[in-house]
Amino acid sequence: MNTPVLFLVFRRPELTRRVFDAIKQARPAKLFVAADGPRSGTSGEYEQCQATRDAICGQIDWECQVQTLLRDKNLGCKLAVSSAIDWFFEHVEEGIILEDDCLPDLSFFGFCEALLDKYRDAPEVMHISGDNFQAGRSRGDGSYYGSSYAHIWGWATWRRAWKHYDVGMKCFPEFKRSGGLERIFDTEAERAYWLKNLERTYRGDVNTWDFQWTFSLWAHNGIAILPNANLVENIGFGAGGTHTVAANKWSPPLRASAGPLIHPSLLVRDRQTDEFTFSSGAISGERKVTHSLWKRLASRLKPERFLETSAGLAAARILLKRNANTRVFHALNRSKSRHTAKRNVDYLRALYFQRRGELSSAVESLKEELRYFPDHVEAAALLTKLQQSPQSVGELPDDPEFRELYPLVQPYTMLSASRLWNLFRLARNACQQDLEGNIVECGVAAGGSSALLATAIARHSRRPRRLFACDSFSGMPAPTAADAHKGLSAEATGWGAGTCAAPEASLLEVCRRLGVADFVEPVAGFFGETLPLNRDRIGSIALLHMDGDWYESTRDILVNLFDSVTAGGCVQIDDYGHWDGCRKAVSEFTESRGLTFNIQPIDYTGVWFEK
Amino acid sequence: MTAGKRILFFAPFGGFKVHHQFDAVVASALRLRGCEPFVVLCDGIYAHCDVLVQSGPKAAQDCAGCAGKGKTFFGSFDLPTLQLRAFIEPNDFPSAERWADQVPPADYAEARHEDLEIGRWATSSVFSYFRISVDGLTRPDVRKVHRQFLINSLVTYRALSRIVEKVKPGHFCVFNARMAPYRVAFEFAKKAGIPVVTHERGGVDDSFSVYDDENCLSSRPMFRCADLWKPVPLTREECSHTADYLASRETGKGINYPSFYSYNTELTRVRRSLRIPESARILLVVTSSEFEQAYSEHYQSNASQMEVLDRLIELFKGREEYLVIRHHPYIAGMHRSPPDYSFLSRAYRQAETAPPNVRIVMPSERMSSYALFWNVDACVAFFSTAGIEAAARGIATASFPKAHYHQVMTRTISDTTLEALDQLVSELFQRTHTWKADDLRPIYRFLHAFIAKLPRRFKSFGIDKHFLPQIRFKDSSDLLPGMDLELDRICDHIQRGAPLVPVPTQEELGRDASEESQFLHDQWEESRRKRSEVRRQGERFTHWRLTPPVAVLRMRFTDLPPSAGTRLRPRHTEVVERLCAPTRSADDRETLRAVLAALEGVRAPYVLVTYDSILHDESFLSSASDELLDDSALKLRGLFFGGWIAPVGGLIDRQIFTQQAPAEKYEEALAILPAIRQPHALLPFCLFRSEALKLSLEKALSDSGGKAAARILFAALHQPDFRKTLLPMLLITDARGSEVH
């Protein structure tokens, strides 16, 4: 191979040996080796550094021009690597750069050589990487695609591109002021992540060299070429790594580039794919932040606050994908209790539920994520996956109207088909029997059941009638100690404060879809505050759907609305069987009033009775 | 044919069966050919002899064993034997003692009895008995034995004269003709005009050298053989055989004797180990054990090795090249052979004053001469066979004029003035530079004569595992003429005076030299290629090598006057010196604490603690730090070396923590070096990893049960993670016999 190779090594002899064996197979005619020196006072580092050098010296058994930059003293990652690449490009016009932990497939060399040649005179192309983080997805119509991300686990570039590298990032302030990141990234999370890291790098808080290179690309509108197969595996995760100290969950396994190199019809930055790359954790998962995130989570440093950052979410994703990390889950739940929607929080909760086998909870969490962040590709994908076996039509009641409506409302509700059917049946009966009163739903969530009730009104009511849809539209209030399920507190189950959230827009959306929005009157706020104020406006009630979950919420509904329920009108309670608090509130209310109801079960939790 | 010729086989050392199998088989063969052999044995007449060198208190037992072995061995061949004792008269020993009493001890080496040069005949054995050179003859213990050897020799001579008078032999057959009784027999035969065949182990495996009227150390048979074959071009096969011999020597094989060392030095590491720049030109000087030169007048030279070395060292103060002096490993002693303390003492004195471009490889340093050959540019080998081996690899080499192979050396060293040596060195460097394939021709022909024409390999017997006789014939019919051609050659020589060495035929003399030329050309090219590759890879090796800093903590007691200058002369370049200055009155624990305090802030990975009274070999830090650096698994906490011990102003007289004096128990070590009752006196023997020294000191200080810190430290340093090299690499001046300053 004629393309020169720069091999960057430090103190990991075994990895160096493996990577060097791969380089040997490629037999580059020019080999440059740069080795950082040992840190004085670090036990065993001289020996490790020497063994690393020994892994190369004397093993160069092909016709090869070797040049070396062997440091006696340690320069650190930032200067050792950047100065080594400077040195490399003092000698060559273009070349391949490999660190001691980047194990390339043999096809990587040919890939780089061919593209170095093809884009030699295309100044916008600044970087050719061997890394792919697309989890098997092929991007574009070629063997590679364009990106803003200059992955550096095995890469190549030209002198003409490297000349833009500035380890001090002098032009970063101007880049930031002129909205450089906004031009490159579409999502706030990416911008925030990169702003933070570039600022830290600019300030010198991070001893690294590669953020500066990524920045050089962005500052000069450069494009990085990324392959559609992963050609380099990072084998350096573990205790010996400088930045990659955690176990490898990042570097995909090696895949040789299959077939001939196909050039894409158009080489531009694929912003959507870059966003996928970012959200999948590959960026934050690269060596820069993983370790510190990990440590911060592990040190209980207010993880819920940490999770409010995109970096924190990335770390939580790592942990939850690895296992059902309860501490992270609780942090996510605490984040939910703030009643402010944060991207990824429900998606990550879903990952937690999925790992625990609680698939219905996972599905509901994913739905919540998608209510606020409908562009969440991964959440959608996971939801699709989890819903691959939807409830068959055969299990639904043999009612053509309900069968027609069910698929339309199901994505917007957490209610089971049985409870939905019972609710629809009661509403339709009330309308057909022309019972006096409106229909009230307390606990709307995404609005699927509300839309169903509004449709019953629209289609079957013989008198003007409205649906009052009461909800905070920001998730549930905090539960009390009474709110437990099988001895487990509501918070511990993952369905505590802030959960079951959906924006009012979700309600209106589904109602609009069914053409019943005009029948719906949202009442936003916690029941204890809104129901006393709206009780008179609501007036008599033909059907009351109580889905407040908690003791206090249930009590507030009964205290404020039960008396408005028309004789012969019905009440359906969604959480009677599930939440202890709900059952307790009903029991206390009936006892206090000396009432007795013929409570009819619907499923394991839902019940109804006629007043 | 001389029918019925009587042959006297002189074989007093019955335990030397490798050699006396030659006598037994040749005697048996001659008997089959009509001769009358008889064997002279010893049944324990000598109070001191070469057999008993290492016997000590078991001398009587060993002596009886030796006599018994001889009797049994020759008895198994059913050969007629005579005991020397039977020919010694009652007055022989008393009169010999009276004669010896009259000889001044200083004249023992030249002692004469009437016209008999008894002193010359006996002294060779004294040199080898004690492994000393002339300097050592003044030692009282040596003189005592020397006197006894004189007496033995005179008595042996008289006994032999009576035996010869009785049996009237027509030929003598004598082992080596160097060791005292054999030399006496040899000299007796020569004086009596009786022809003598001498024999020794040969230069290649399983072979014997057989000479006619010559001492085994004589160069003449070799010269005659070489001269005989000098005009004969070698065939390709013979060239290959010679090249193979050189290659096998390099691995310590094929030399009919165990290798002096088993280690291999990587060719490409040599210059790095020496810490000599790749671009520097090097003159290599290879020394030999001095006793080996002392014990034969054939090796005597106008100047000693050490004298020439002194001048070369002086000369190189003004030269830009490097001088590498490689002292032979045997000088440091081997197995049960004692070191040559006199030589070592002189070598250390030279080392202390040598300039930076003189690198002295002490006998204990693991650096093979073969590895050096590929890394140097000229060579001086006074007597050592290393000389011809260097030359065969294309290195211009000089030797003393009496070296076996001096004929094929580039130069011989006859004039040892500074001016002459200066010229010699320049010429050697120049000659290597202009060396041609043709220059190998005389060397190859000489070597081929040495390995293929001079030594005799017999079908009927040989040498197994260097020291065991190997009788191969089944019955006497295997010894009949025509069965073993080499045996026939010896018998023909004794019976009819046929030559002992094959003579070239006309056909051989008329050979075309083209095969030889082509081979030598190829060999030379290969040699050049290898040399170039070694240098190239060596340069690469050095280039890739880290040089970790070593912290040297110099102990200097504050209430003692400072010693003049440092005695550390390291080749290692990254040395950071720190002073550790406890008070003289500090107790052991306070002193160790002072070392610990001095260790604070040391960031170097390795540490040496030393004193002004200790001279570490110049390679101590470099070789030890190289080994620690290569221990990437960090299995070793340090390397523990041995040392030589010398009284102030005196010669080295002891050793400690070495192969010969391992001193594995604290009490044993204390008996050798009382100074180590102070724990800090143990520290200079070791190059520590910094953290290991700290831990060892803390451990020594941690004991509150009253156990001496020195014992604890001694035990700690003898754990497996401190590698005991058993190599003496420092010289301790034992100032007052008990304390290190």
Question: A70-101: per-residue pLDDT in tens?
Answer: 999 999 888 999 999 999 999 999 999 999 98
Contact by Cβ (8 Å): B527, B708? no
Query: In this complex, do A70 and B543 lie within 8 Å of one another by their Cβ atoms?
Result: yes
Task: Round to whole Å and give the CA distance between B158 and B549.
Answer: 68
Contact by Cβ (8 Å): B143, B108? yes
Residue whose structure tokens are 């000299």: B187
pLDDT digit string (tens) for B590-638?
888 999 999 988 899 999 999 888 999 999 999 999 999 999 999 999 9
> Residue A292 contacts by C-beta under 8 Å, 6 or more apart in sequence?
none
Task: Round to whole Å and give the CA distance between A415 and A604.
Answer: 12
Write phi, then psi, for B200 (nearest 5 degrees).
-150, 175
Query: In this complex, do A47 and B628 lie within 8 Å of one another by their Cβ atoms?
Result: yes
- Residue A289: predicted pLDDT: 41
Query: In this complex, do B540 and A40 lie within 8 Å of one another by their Cβ atoms?
Result: no
- Residue A25: predicted pLDDT: 94
pLDDT digit string (tens) for B571-580?
888 888 888 8
Among A546-555, B95-104, B126-135, B662-671, whose mean pLDDT is lowest?
Answer: B126-135
How much is the CA Rg of chain A, to the nearest whole Å?
31
For residue A52, the chain B residue with the least C-alpha distance is: B632
Query: In this complex, do A53 and B540 lie within 8 Å of one another by their Cβ atoms?
Result: no
Q: Please check the confidence at residue A231 and state whether its pLDDT lies above 80.
A: yes
pLDDT digit string (tens) for A385-417?
787 654 444 578 889 999 999 989 988 888 988
- Residue B737: predicted pLDDT: 47
- By CB atoms closer than 10 A (0-12, 13-18, 19+), residue B168 is exposed
To the nearest whole angstrom, how far is the Cα of B410 from the nearest Cα of chain A?
35
Query: Which string of DSSP letters, residue by residue, matches A518-570?
Result: GGEEEEES-HHHHHHHHHHHH-SEEEEEE---SHHHHHHHHHHHGGGEEEEEE
Q: Which residues of B touch A13 (CB under 8 A)?
A: 632
Among A185-199, A249-263, A335-349, A452-466, whose mean pLDDT is lowest?
Answer: A249-263
Q: Please check the confidence at residue A288 and state whether its pLDDT lies above 60.
A: no
Query: In this complex, do A49 and B543 lie within 8 Å of one another by their Cβ atoms?
Result: no
Task: Round to whole Å and give the CA distance between B39 and B37.
Answer: 7
Query: In this complex, do B634 and A58 lie within 8 Å of one another by their Cβ atoms?
Result: no
Classify residue B75 by its DSSP letter.
H
Q: Please check the confidence at residue A470 and state whether its pLDDT lies above 50.
A: yes
Nearest-CB residue to A41 (from B540, B603, B632):
B603
At B562, is the pLDDT very low, low, confident or very high (cuts 50, 70, 90)? low
Query: In this complex, do A46 and B548 lie within 8 Å of one another by their Cβ atoms?
Result: yes
Task: Round to whole Å and give the CA distance between B654 and B675.
Answer: 14
Query: Which string of DSSP letters, residue by residue, matches A154-212?
Result: SEEEEHHHHTT--TT-TTHHHHHHTTHHHHH-SSHHHHHHHHHHHHHHHHT-S--SHHH
Q: What three-state secondary structure class fits A29? A: coil
pLDDT digit string (tens) for B673-704?
998 888 999 999 999 999 999 999 988 888 76
Torsion of CA B182, B185, B190, B193, to 10 degrees: -150
Query: In this complex, do B547 and A72 lie within 8 Å of one another by their Cβ atoms?
Result: yes
Spatial CA neighbour of A460 closest among A421, A440, A434, A486: A434
Query: Which string of DSSP letters, residue by residue, matches A218-245?
Result: HHTT-EEEEESS--EEE---STT-SS--
pLDDT digit string (tens) for B511-535?
999 999 999 999 999 999 999 999 9
- By CB atoms closer than 10 A (0-12, 13-18, 19+), residue B30 is buried
pLDDT digit string (tens) for B286-306?
998 887 777 777 666 667 899
H or E element, residue A110? helix A106-118
- Residue B30: predicted pLDDT: 97
Spatial CA neighbour of A130 closest among A14, A275, A247, A26: A26
Spatial CA neighbour of B143 closest among B132, B158, B156: B132
b/e map of B235-255 (b: 16 or more CB within 10 Å)? beebbebbbebbeebbebebb
Query: In this complex, do A70 and B544 lie within 8 Å of one another by their Cβ atoms?
Result: yes
Spatial CA neighbour of A11 closest among A60, A57, A58, A47: A47
ipTM at complex level:
0.83
CA dihedral (B97, B103, B106, B108) positive or negative: negative
Classify residue B179 by its DSSP letter.
S
CB count, 10 Å around CB of A183? 10
- Residue A249: predicted pLDDT: 45
Q: Does A50 touch chain B (CB under 8 A)?
A: yes
- Residue B688: predicted pLDDT: 96
- Residue B518: predicted pLDDT: 96
Q: How large is the average pLDDT for residues B507-513?
A: 94
- Residue B566: predicted pLDDT: 52
Classify residue B269 by its DSSP letter.
G
Nearest-CB residue to A72 (from B268, B546, B634):
B546
Nearest-CB residue to A47 (from B547, B631, B691):
B631
Task: Round to whole Å and give the CA distance between A484 and A552.
Answer: 13
- Residue B693: predicted pLDDT: 94
Residue whose structure tokens are 């590298």: A165
At B98, is the pLDDT very low, low, confident or very high (cuts 50, 70, 90)? very high
Q: Please check the confidence at residue A243 and state whether its pLDDT lies above 60.
A: no
- Residue A247: predicted pLDDT: 43
To the nearest whole angstrom, how far is the Cα of B548 from the nearest Cα of chain A?
7
- Residue A27: predicted pLDDT: 96
Q: Which residues of A touch B630 (CB under 8 A)?
A: 47, 50-51
- Residue A246: predicted pLDDT: 44
pLDDT digit string (tens) for A107-144?
999 999 999 999 999 999 999 999 988 877 888 889 99
- Residue A250: predicted pLDDT: 47
pLDDT digit string (tens) for A518-533?
999 999 999 999 999 9
At B403, is the pLDDT very low, low, confident or very high (cuts 50, 70, 90)? confident
Q: Please check the confidence at residue B568 and state whether its pLDDT lies above 90.
A: no
- Which residue did the predictor score with more confidence, B72 or A298? B72
Classify residue B725 by its DSSP letter.
E
Q: How large is the average pLDDT for residues A361-382?
A: 84
- Which residue did the predictor score with more confidence, B465 or B568? B465
Q: Does A51 touch chain B (CB under 8 A)?
A: yes
- Residue B160: predicted pLDDT: 96
Q: Please check the confidence at residue A7 and state whether its pLDDT lies above 80.
A: yes
Q: Which tokens sit at B683?
A: 């520290």
Among A286-295, B319-328, B458-467, whose mean pLDDT is lowest?
Answer: A286-295
- Residue A458: predicted pLDDT: 94
H or E element, residue A369? helix A359-372
Query: In this complex, do A56 and B545 lie within 8 Å of one another by their Cβ atoms?
Result: no
Q: What percent of chain B has pLDDT over 70?
A: 96
Q: How far is CA A412 from CA A382, A441, A473, in A?
A: 17, 14, 13
- Residue A357: predicted pLDDT: 74
Q: What percent of chain B has pLDDT over 90?
A: 72
Task: Round to whole Å and give the CA distance between B372 and B115.
Answer: 48
- Residue A305: predicted pLDDT: 64
What does the mean pLDDT of chain B come to? 91
To the nearest whole angstrom, how far is the Cα of B691 from the nearest Cα of chain A?
8
Alpha helices in B379-499 (DSSP H): 386-392, 418-433, 440-448, 485-496
Q: Please check the confidence at residue B738 and state whether its pLDDT lies above 80.
A: no
- By CB atoms closer than 10 A (0-12, 13-18, 19+), residue B736 is exposed
